[in-house]
A = this chain, B = another copy of it.
Amino acid sequence: MDTHIAPVELAKAYRLINHGPTVLVSASHDGVANVMAAAWACALDFAPPKVTVVLDKSTRTRALVEASGRFVLQVPTARQLRLTQAVGNTSMADDADKLRNCGVTLFQAGGGADPLVEGCAAWLVCRLVSEPHNQQAYDLFIGEVESAWADPRVFANGHWRFEEAGPEWRSLHHVAGGHYYAIGAPLSAHAEEDATSPPSSPA
């Protein structure tokens, strides 16, 4: 599989999901791995980087996250549109061969055992920050990003390169019922070139 992977410094890991893409969530425990799609994932902190993701109680992936205390968020591309829709609409409870049937191939990175999905644009490998009330009341899970990776053909030197990569590299932004938008054209508000703060900073 044509997956290239390069480390992303943790201080810039939030940039991998700051633009709000739909992500794939993967986890494994005791020899079982699963992958689901989630539009409800978000950055939570810069350093150490943290993320939130909503995992419904009906999902098998959630059980693996709870059992292993780990998960991976990854950013699928337009080329993975059908894979993304498929893993989000098939349950391993109904199809034990779900991953193969959805076209998912897993790999490991950086010497860790966490399952990463081949062909994505970026990966955030997370340790679950246990918050039982949030998990039970809101299905809301917090992760601390331990390592971050990206395919340098679409994210390099701390910046997305969507405008230079081909259209098959665009991130996916789900609205509802299989209707997505790809990320579009760059717009600059003419701020400093490399300010590290998002627009959420002062105000």
A28 within 8 A of B: no
Question: Chain B residues near A184 (CB, 8 Å)?
Answer: 170, 181-185
Which residue, of A20, A142, A188, has the highest number of chain B Cβ atoms within 10 A?
A20
Give Cα A16–Cα B45 distance, bound, in whole angstroms.
23
A182 and B179 within 8 A (CB): no
Indicate whether A182 sits within 8 Å of B187 (C-beta atoms), given known contacts A50-B138, A52-B140, A88-B198. Answer: yes
- Neighbouring B residues of A186 by C-beta, 8 Å: 179-182
Q: Which residues of B contact A187 (CB under 8 A)?
A: 78, 81, 172, 179-182
Please report the total number of A residues contacting B with Cβ < 8 Å. Answer: 85
Choose from B37, B134, B185 the contact partner of A199 (Cβ within 8 Å): B37
A162 → chain B, closest Cβ, in Å? 7
A74 within 8 A of B: no
A 1-32 binary contact with B (CB < 8 Å = 1; else 0): 00000000000101100111110000000000
**Stretch among A58-66, A105-113, A117-125 lining the B interface:** A58-66
Residues of B within 8 A of A70 (CB): none
Q: Which residue of B lies closest to A195 (CB)?
A: B177
**CB-CB nearest 3 A-B residue pairs:** A20-B20, A184-B184, A178-B191
